[in-house]
A and B are shown apart, each in its own frame.
Chain A
Amino acid sequence: MAKFYTKEHEWVEMAGAQATVGISEHAAHELGDITYVELPKIGKSVKQFEALAAIESVKAASDIYAPVSGKVAEVNQALDDAPELVNQGAESQGWICKLEGVNEAELVALMDAAAYDEYLKGL
């Protein structure tokens, strides 16, 4: 399954019309110890690049933006009590939510893994 990244360091992995969303390993590392994740409400509709969720670390509070438009179908409830899962695996068990009704055409505005790596080198 192909994974795409935003300039704001979210990732999205597509499976048909459903997409899993999280923050990149790079972002998790930069934030440091993550202490709180504000999960979106199930059923919430978001447009691409709109605020979707919020995350806090020992250092800072930041927004998580929707990499693609869609409706929140599922959230990673485990993060309520164990936000450190994002540090342990930002692109695996630390996923944030799943979106449904996603339009693949929006992926052209994102970077694939190789392009994201290049992007990080330029930061």
Chain B
Amino acid sequence: MEELKATPLHADHENLKALMAPFGGWIMPIQYSGIIAEHKWCREKAALFDICHMGEFLFKGDVVADGLEDVFTFSVSSIPVGRSRYGFLLNDAGGVIDDLIVFRLAENEAMIVVNAATTDNDFTVIRSRLKNPAALTDISARTGKVDLQGPLSREIMVQHFGPSIQDIPFFKFIKTSILGSDAIVSRTGYTGELGYEIFLPADKVAELWRLLLEDPRVAPAGLGARDLLRLEMGYSLYGNDLDETITPLTAGLSTFVNMSKEFVGKTALERELEQGSPRMKVAFKVDSRRAPRHFYQILHEGKEVGVVTSGAFSPMLSCGIGLGLVKPDAAALGTRLTIRHEKVEMEAQVVELPFYTGGSLRS
């Protein structure tokens, strides 16, 4: 097995006595004080996450002539400079190779932010689809990333890094200077709260991390809390809710697919639109505090209809919540489901997303 990679903040996590575990080829902090306490801190104050494991690619070239325009399920050329867009890299069958965000840094420059475990393969695939492969560079190793997320994140960021952050709208970013280095501050995240993703040189991340943690409004949060926070919003996790066998249409994410442009996998999606999806994503709430978990069976009227792709106990709703893939006739809102694993059984109901609607995301 390949050796686990450590982020530039590894020693800081050990000093904070974080519980560390492998994630996507990296050794990452799962929790510090406790998953629920960290989750609550993010919903009420501001939580700081080490996200250095995610991959970043820099594209320098002509978006259309060099072929980036046709790589993803969305148009890159129509993203205004200073904005970012979420979408997918698909295989021929329409399955999701990765979900990612493209940041339009300049007319001829874009940064592509991808999942950790898929970084190397994404790089190979994207390059192979470019007319000019040399336009793409993997800058993951030299790029650090931390996320500050929570209702207090704006006032904290403004206080530490200046008033230019005050008015960054959702899914916009600014290029600025942090601790004397070039940085990108983006109003994006994975928690459902007002928040920022900060990109800066990897060798500056520890300094930024320590500076922010000195602020009493900020506490570190691990991947455990991050998973609860994203699931309460119904955000997909690659490897659970999305993979190469699941199309964006099946996953209920057609909003992020532009069928009026060309991209690899489009023919398969057209066929799926025509014939209907064999499986559909559902969100469901459990009647009790029991937590559904990945791979638990989903039954409807006594028959197996699907599988849980993500599940947890929701601290905000005080019940189990989950996402799953089911046969279309069990996907309608209000449908009663039974979730089963060995002798564990729980009753649930199909609901709308997000599960949690009280977040400060767009405030």
Contacts and interface: CB of A to CB of B under 8 A. Distances in A.
B289 A35 contact: yes
A32 B290 contact: no
Contact of A32 (B34, B288, B289, B293): B34
B344 A54 contact: yes
A54 B293 CA distance: 15
B288 A59 contact: no
B228 interface: yes
Contacts of B312: 58
A32 B291 contact: no
A61 B36 contact: no
A61 B293 contact: yes
Given A58-B35, A58-B313, A36 B228 contact: no
Nearest to A61: B344
Contacts of B289: 35-36, 56, 83
Contact of B313 (A38, A54, A56): A56
B1 to A, nearest CB: 22
Contact of A36 (B34, B35, B224, B288): B288
B272 to A, nearest CB: 35
Interface size class of B (residues with CB under 8 A): 10 to 19
Contact of B224 (A35, A38, A58): A58
A36 B36 contact: no
Interface string A28-56: 00001101101000000000000000101
Interface string A82-123: 011000000000000000000000000000000000000000
A83 B291 CA distance: 13
Identify which of A32, A54, A58, A83 gathers the most chain B CB atoms within 10 Å of its CB: A58
Interface residues of A, number: 12
Contacts of A54: 344
Contact of A56 (B34, B35, B228, B291): B291
Interface in B17-48: 31, 34-37
A36 B31 contact: no
A35 B136 CA distance: 46
Identify which of A35, A54, A56, A59 gathers the most chain B CB atoms within 10 Å of its CB: A35
A36 B37 CA distance: 16
A64 B313 CA distance: 19
A56 B288 CA distance: 12
Contact of B35 (A32, A38, A61, A83): A32
Contact of A33 (B34, B288, B293): B34
A83 B344 CA distance: 18
Contacts of A35: 36, 289, 291, 313
A59 B344 contact: no
A50 to B, nearest CB: 13
A83 B315 CA distance: 12
Contacts of A83: 289
Identify which of A38, A54, A61 gathers the most chain B CB atoms within 10 Å of its CB: A61
A58 B231 CA distance: 13
B290 A33 contact: no
A67 to B, nearest CB: 20
Nearest to A37: B289
Lowest 4 CB-CB distances: which A-B pairs, in order?
A: A35-B313, A36-B289, A33-B36, A58-B35
29 contacts: A32-B34, A32-B224, A33-B34, A33-B35, A33-B36, A35-B289, A35-B291, A35-B313, A36-B288, A36-B289, A36-B290, A36-B313, A38-B290, A54-B344, A56-B289, A56-B290, A56-B313, A58-B35, A58-B36, A58-B224, A58-B228, A58-B291, A58-B313, A59-B224, A61-B291, A61-B293, A61-B344, A83-B289, A84-B36
